[in-house]
Amino acid sequence: MRRTIYLFLLLGLCLPTYAQDFSSTGILTFANGGVTTEDLNKDSFPDILFLKRERFTNLNNRLIRLLNDGEAMLSFTELEISTTNEIFGTPTAADFDQDGDIDIVYSGANEGTLLLFQGEADNTLTETVLAIKGAGRFATADLNGDEFPDMVGLSFVDEEVVAYLNTNGTGFTRTTIYDTGIEPSAFQVVDIDGDGDDDVAVGTDDFTEESLVLLINNGSGMFTKQVIESTSSVVRSVNGISAGDLNGDAKLDLVIVASSKCFSYLQGEALNFTRKEELSNFNTFRSVAVGDFNGDQRDDFVVGDNSGEGITLYTNDGMATPGFVASPVRGITPVFSLSAQDLNRDGDLDLVASNGSVYAFENELEQIPPVGVSSIVVREASIFPNPVGEGFVFLQGEALGLAHTYELLDISGQLVRSGRVDGSGRIDLRGMVPGSYVIRLFEGNLLWGRAKIIKY
C-alpha cells in the first residue's frame, strides 16, 4: 500500500508550536514498537521505519516505511507491506549484503527468530527467516572492521546485550556481550574511545547494582566491560543514552536519562568520566538525543518525558564545563523515542519522536555559522562584572585590545546585538532583557573567544 503524507503547517492541520524553535508537523501516523530513522532508498534523505498491528487480527505484521520525498516542506510516502511472520520491537537497517540496496532486520514474535527483509532495486522487500535468535531492539554497528555492517541487539527476554557479526553478507553469528543477571534497559552504539571501531554504552533497569557500563571493543568484536556506575551510585533505572561532544574537546561524552533525573558524563583521560546532574524532575524522563541543534559547534540535547512539556531542548552555553538552558519543544506525552536527523537536508537537525504516534519537528532555530578556520583556538574571555545589572561590561586580560567586534546571542542562538568593542573594552548591555547570554568576540573576521554572561 502506498500513500503520501503531506505535513502542512497550517492552523487546524497541525498542533500548536512553542517559541518557533521547532514547528510541529502533527501526527504522521501510528506505530507499534520502536521507530528507526535511516536512509532506506539511498537518496540522502532520512526515512522512518516501524511496524503496525493488523487491525482485524491484532497481529504485528505490517512493516511501514515512510519514505522522505526530499522536499523543503516535509512530506513522506508511506509504503506498507504485510509480513509473513509477526515482527517485534525496534528494527535496524543497512546494506547488510552489500548489493547496493538497504535491508531491514526485525525480530520475530517475542524475539524468537531473526527476520531479514532484503531490499530490492524497486523498493520491494524479500522476507527471510534466519535460524538465529532475535532481540527486542537493534542498532547497526561496525564491530570488526570489515565491509559488512554488523548489529548490536538488546534482548528483553533474556536480559542481555548481544552482538551480531555479519558473515560476509550471508547471515549473522550471535554472541552475548553483556549478561550479568542485571536487566539492560538502554544502549548506544558509539566509538567512545575514538579508535575507529564501535563500542557500546549500556544502561540497566537495576536499583541496587551496576547501572551504567561501557563495553569496549578490541576491534574484532570482542568486548571488555568497564563499569561507570556501580552499587553505590545514585544513578538508577536508565531509560535512554546518547553521545556527543558537549565541551568541544574532541572526546565523546554521554547524556543519560535515568528515572526522574538526567546526567551528563564528560570524558577525561583514560576513559574516566565526570558525572553532573543536569535535570531533576518529579516526572520520568523516557528518551534523549544529543546533537548540535543551533550550529554553534557545541552539542546540545533534547529529552522526552511524561510531563506536560513532553520534549524539551537544552541548549549548550559553550563553556568548558557546559551549562544548559531549557526551552520547550512540544507537549506530547509520553515520549518513548527521539531521533535527531536533518530530515530536509537544510543543514540543521530536526526531530522524529514517537509515543504510539509518530511525529516530525522542523528545526527553525537560527543557526550560528562557524567563523574562521578550525585551527583557531576559541578562548574563554574574562569579563567584569558578571553577573551584571543595567549598564556595561568590560573585557579583561588578553581579550582587551585583541577583540575588535562582538556578537551577543541569547541562549537559543538568536543574535540580539552586535557592535564594535571600544578601546576600554566596554560592551553595552543597557536595555537587554534579564537572562543568560553568550558574547562572541572577533579579531578581524576570526572568532577569537567567547564568554557566558548573566544579566539580572
DSSP letter (8 states) at residue 111: G
The pLDDT score that the predictor gives to residue 371 is 44
Residue 21 grid coordinates: 524553535
The pLDDT score that the predictor gives to residue 402 is 79
The pLDDT score that the predictor gives to residue 282 is 79
Cα dihedral 432, 434, 436, 442, rounded to 10, equals 20
From first to last of the 456 residues of the chain, give the pLDDT tens digit.
555 554 433 223 233 334 458 888 778 899 988 999 999 998 989 999 999 998 888 899 999 999 999 988 888 999 999 999 999 999 999 999 999 999 999 999 999 999 999 999 888 999 999 999 999 999 999 999 898 999 999 999 999 999 999 999 999 999 999 998 889 999 999 999 999 899 999 999 977 789 999 999 999 999 999 999 987 678 989 999 999 999 988 899 999 999 899 999 999 999 999 999 999 987 889 999 999 999 888 899 999 998 767 999 999 988 888 999 899 887 788 999 999 999 998 889 999 999 999 999 999 998 876 544 344 455 778 888 888 888 888 888 877 777 888 888 876 667 788 888 877 888 888 888 887 788 888 877 677 788 888 887
pTM: 0.80
Tell me, rounded to whole angstroms, the distance of Cα 174 from its chain centroid: 27
Q: Give the whole-angstrom CA distance, residue 28 versus residue 88.
A: 21
Whether residue 87 contacts residue 106, with contact meaning beta carbons closer than 8 Å, is answered with: yes
CB atoms within 10 A of CB 62: 19
The pLDDT score that the predictor gives to residue 11 is 27
Q: Give the whole-angstrom CA distance, residue 213 versus residue 237.
A: 13
Q: Give the whole-angstrom CA distance, residue 339 versus residue 288.
A: 8
**Backbone torsions φ then ψ of 23, nearest 5 degrees:** -100, 135
Q: Give the whole-angstrom CA distance, residue 304 versus residue 279.
A: 12
What residues form DSSP beta bridges with 129?
A: 115
Whether residue 21 contacts residue 329, with contact meaning beta carbons closer than 8 Å, is answered with: yes
Computed over its alpha carbons, how large is the radius of gyration of the chain? 23
